Structure 1
Amino acid sequence: MTHVVTESCIKCRYTDCVDVCPVDCFHIGPNFLVIDPDECIDCAVCVPECPVEAIFAEEDLPQDQLDFIRINAELAPEWEVIDSSIGSLPDAEEWKDKPNKRELLER
């Protein structure tokens, strides 16, 4: 199994999770992070670090977030690896509690 970044990360892109990852499985996009399922070792140390609770074990994903398994797998090879935090997006605080951000995901 792997961990998956979900919709809550969109337009926030907090990078606290990146600092604790022992295998550098996070990849960074314009307004979202993804986890490379081939690199993730399912250690779960990233989960409590996410201020918007956007990271789930694959088996614990809410039903309405299942498509993020595919999204993470699809975007990880296209985006650059990030191995240290860089802070959140400038307007992250405005977006952190907003639902229905899927269509705002920039590829």
Structure 2
Amino acid sequence: MAFVITSPCNGEKSGECVQVCPVDCIKEGKDMFFIDPELCIECGACEDVCPVEAIFIEDEIPEEESEYIELNRKFYQPE
């Protein structure tokens, strides 16, 4: 189960999460960052440093943010 970046990151893009990720699974998109669910090792480093509390482990995402699970996956799928 991977970590997922949710709506508070949209437009924020602070980037602390990228700096602490030990497996380089966080990439910058147009409006926010995304976590690759295939590479995430669930270490929690990104969650601890997120200044807007946008990062959740997949099974603890608030219901109103659940669409971000698929948005993070789609970001990493080839077009």
Structure 2 length-normalised TM: 0.93
Question: Structure 1: which 5+ residue stretches go unaligned?
Answer: 79-107
1:76 shift after superposition: 2.6
Give the match for residue 64 of structure 1.
Answer: 64
Shift of residue 48 of structure 1? 1.3
- Greater helix share, structure number: 2
Structure 1 runs, 4 residues or longer, greater than 6 Å off? none
- Count the aligned residue pairs: 78
Larger radius of gyration: 1
Q: CA deviation at 1:77?
A: 4.1
Q: How does 1:4-83 map to 2 (within 5 A)?
A: 4-77=4-77
Between the aligned partners of 2:35 and 2:23, the Cα distance in structure 1 is 11
Task: Identify unmatched segments of 5+ residues in structure 2.
Answer: none
Q: Which moved more, 1:69-78 or 1:16-25?
A: 69-78
1:94 aligns to what?
A: none
SS at 2:45 equivalent: coil
Q: Percent identity?
A: 40
Q: CA deviation at 1:67?
A: 0.9
